[in-house]
Structure 1
């Protein structure tokens, strides 16, 4: 009998949603699962990308051109971003329908939903109708109800204390 894949959500205002999804991906890759991660709204270099590059069965895909935060973009840049997101979504659609990986991580997809770049109802429907073995992991703040409804796991990461509150900026290798 083929393994049934489940849907995981890492949400909340705390640090560690991407880190949790990468950890789960590494665990799966260690068991020889093929892991595909698509990162949304991220274009800067991060430490986890360096180590993932060394893993034979863990791929990371980014479709967006480097640019500033969403709220700093002009209308033309937002249009370009939507085109990049649409390209990423076509890639995601293929993975969901073909089932050619064991785990699909959609990192910061909630941010793309929150900025009205992704329709949560369409995404939920596609995830619900994916190949049965495919494990799906979604990250980001403010998870919509329609995504919660299809999820098997919803984990909320909330800050109790954070060094940024004391004026300590992101540190290389820890926050990036």
Structure 2
């Protein structure tokens, strides 16, 4: 039995969720069971990858469903939603039924005080040994980075949004 790894995809550049989605596709292609817990993401409209992944038999998706940054409800609502989704996801992780778990935008959730860093540290420490874990989002805390086997920081050099070009269906969502 191989030791599971912890990957962190962080930074201010595009591609953190996209990189995690690529690993999810790889794991599913190898017949592995995958859990995706989405934080700070809207329930609807669903992105292209969520539409596709939700149809896969070895895939479980949980979404806090609280909106997107800039259009967020009050902090108390966010904290409640993030912590409820985290508790459900942690229970699934500890069940040992999954080979890979992805906690999308959990880094921002910690940074913004929606969930305690200690809860994520405990998740990393208590997960079943062979499980791989990916944490995404900007602002990954140093304390969590130190526990990871791989940390990749995406750097924004240039982005079409800065030129007034909105996100495009099939390319960004």
Counterparts of 1:38-117 in structure 2, within 5 Å, are 38-43=37-42, 44=44, 45-64=46-65, 66-67=66-67, 69=69, 73=73, 77-117=74-114
Query: 1:42-90 CA distances to partner (integer Å, 9 max, x unpaired)?
Result: 01421111111222212211133x44536753xxx32222221121121
Task: Give the superposition deviation at 1:144.
Answer: 0.4
Match of 1:36 in 2: 35
Distance 2:68 2:140 in 1: 23
Alignment gaps of 5+ in structure 1: none
Which aligned segments of 4 or more residues in structure 1 are displaced greater than 4 angstroms?
A: none
Farther off after superposition, 42-51 or 136-145: 42-51
User: CA RMSD, aligned part only?
Assistant: 1.6
- In structure 1, the residue matched to 2:18 is 19
Q: Which runs of 5+ in 2 are unaligned?
A: none
Paired residues of 1:26 and 1:58 also in contact (CA < 8 A): no
Paired position in structure 2 for 1:160: 157
What is the total number of aligned residue pairs between the two structures? 171
**What is the alpha-carbon distance in structure 1 between the residues aligned to residue 115 and residue 98 of structure 2?**
22
TM-score normalized by structure 1? 0.90
The answer on 1:171 being equivalent to 2:168 is: yes
Distance 2:126 2:169 in 1: 39
The structure-2 alpha-carbon separation of the partners of 1:54 and 1:103, relative to structure 1 and needing over 3 Å to count, comes to same
* Cα separation, partners in 2 of 1:4 and 1:83, compared to 1, 3 Å: same
Q: Normalization by structure 2: what TM-score?
A: 0.91
